[in-house]
Amino acid sequence: MGMGSGDSVILYAAQAEPVWQAICRDGVAYSRAEFVRKKYGESAPVFLTAYDWFAAQLPRFVPKPEGAAYPYWAFTDPYLMDRAGFDHILKLAVPKDQAVFFRPEDWNRILQMEYLGKDEDAAAFGQELHLRGLRGADVMLTPFYPQLRRQILDSWQNLFQYHKAALQGERPPKDLQAGLWCIQGDWVLEDNGKPAKKSYKL
């Protein structure tokens, strides 16, 4: 994992112009549910379900600052980012205690409303859903299957199985994503490959 100075880690984040403007104006940017709704449109209920769950888990690892609602995503490798529609590619030096680490492919399974477990457990659960004619989204987005919903939610705790190893440098760095409560101006090293100006209101 790319290390910054002291106990920081080098991460990359793709952000839109309003986020960059907030960083420059206020010295920090926070994400909100309305941003997710606007970004994902008709798919927003799926994303909000996943984001709500993640936001409820994040305080176990990183204290929630006042003003924070939803996470920002950052990556140990810039090639993992979806850059489409983003104006700013930020290189950040984030204090390790301000991030929670996980594999992007595991987060994508959560976004698909899937069970997240060992292959054999996931296959068995998938077979159970198939026999009932259900998909994970049917379970997670309706109130009709509380027991199955609880099983899926419990399985999502596996998202964090690599966090401790990542903090200790035991996890290979190339495939990790990080959740951040905010992006602080003093974390920004580069904006679109150019050194960032440190003129924020901190």
Residue spans per domain, the chain: 8-113+161-188
Residue 33 — pLDDT band, cuts 50, 70, 90?
confident
pLDDT tens-digit profile of 105-159?
999 999 999 999 988 999 999 999 999 999 999 999 999 999 999 999 999 999 9
Residues in a beta bridge with 74: 178
CA distance linking residue 5 with residue 8, whole number of Å? 6
Residue 97 near residue 62, CB atoms below 8 Å: yes
Predicted local distance difference test score (pLDDT) of residue 201: 45
pLDDT digits (tens, 9 = 90+) for 83-119: 777 889 999 999 999 999 999 999 999 999 999 998 8
User: 3-class SS at 112?
Assistant: coil
Contact 94, 74 (CB under 8 A): yes
88's tokens? 């700013």
